[in-house]
């Protein structure tokens, strides 16, 4: 017979990301952030490869990434409003953690499984931050797939990428609830 954890289930049934633009200081201190990162690192990891790592971004690092977003977005001819929105996520964030996808050679765990593990780390960090009372949001954007941004901005190796930027801080205002998936539309029950 299972041993239910009603508080954890209630949290998962009601969890809600907080838009990055609504986050402000303070953010978790180093000790609090270590706890959140420890929780995130407990993600499913077939083969115990740890195909991910963290880069904690604060202050000048966030300002530098915002400037690089503007520079590269302009050079690529992207919509200026979109570029500004993407840059402002870095500018306005009190803290962000870049979850870096760093696949490992493995016969046991194909790269797609390792990528899914990195995604699970992102969700784990997001949920840990929310459970600890912080506001948090998981963003990517074109920068997460732009090799020059990844190399110049985050010093990533050629085989590495960004699974997500997890922005964490104190929320200014709670966002309104949004519609959730209709289970009758997305669930198939296969009993035979």
117 belongs to an annotated ligand binding site: no
Per residue in 83-110, pLDDT tens? 999 999 999 999 999 999 999 999 999 9
CB 49 within 8 A of CB 104: yes
Q: Does residue 145 lie in a domain region?
A: yes
16 belongs to an annotated ligand binding site: yes
**Sequence-separated (6 or more) residues with CB below 8 Å from residue 77:** none
42 belongs to an annotated ligand binding site: yes
Distance, CA of 130 to CA of 144 (rounded, Å): 23
Q: Does residue 13 lie in a domain region?
A: no
17 belongs to an annotated ligand binding site: yes
With tokens 């194909």, the residue in question is 110
**Sequence-separated (6 or more) residues with CB below 8 Å from residue 18:** 130, 135, 136, 137, 171, 174, 175
125 belongs to an annotated ligand binding site: no
Per residue in 138-147, pLDDT tens? 999 999 999 9
pLDDT at 163: 98
pLDDT at 1: 86
Range of the domain at 35: 23-172
Q: Does residue 1 lie in a domain region?
A: no
Report how many domains make up the chain: 1
140 belongs to an annotated ligand binding site: yes
Q: Does residue 163 lie in a domain region?
A: yes
Tell me the CATH number at 152: 3.40.109.10
pLDDT at 48: 94
Q: Does residue 186 lie in a domain region?
A: no
Q: Does residue 133 lie in a domain region?
A: yes
Burial of 125 (0-12, 13-18, 19+ CB in 10 A): buried
Q: Does residue 183 lie in a domain region?
A: no
> Residues in the chain with pLDDT < 70?
none
Q: Does residue 77 lie in a domain region?
A: yes
């Amino acid at each position: 017979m299972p041993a239910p954890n009603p508080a954890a289930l209630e949290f998962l049934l009601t969890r809600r990301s907080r838009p990055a633009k609504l986050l402000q200081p303070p953010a978790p201190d180093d000790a609090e952030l270590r706890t959140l990162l420890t929780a995130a690192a407990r993600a499913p990891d077939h083969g115990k490869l740890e195909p991910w790592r963290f880069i904690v971004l604060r202050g000048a690092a966030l300002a530098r990434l915002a400037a690089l977003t503007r520079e590269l977005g302009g050079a690529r001819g992207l919509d200026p409003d979109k570029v500004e929105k993407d840059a402002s996520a870095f500018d306005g964030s009190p803290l962000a953690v870049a979850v870096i996808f760093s696949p490992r050679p493995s016969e046991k765990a194909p790269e797609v499984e390792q990528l899914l593990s990195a995604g699970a780390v992102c969700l784990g960090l997001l949920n840990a931050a929310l459970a600890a009372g912080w506001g948090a949001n998981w963003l990517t954007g074109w920068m997460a797939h732009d090799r020059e941004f990844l190399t110049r901005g985050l010093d990533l190796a050629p085989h590495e990428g960004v699974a997500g930027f997890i922005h964490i801080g104190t929320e200014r205002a709670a966002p309104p609830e949004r519609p959730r998936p209709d289970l009758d539309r997305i669930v198939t029950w296969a009993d035979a």
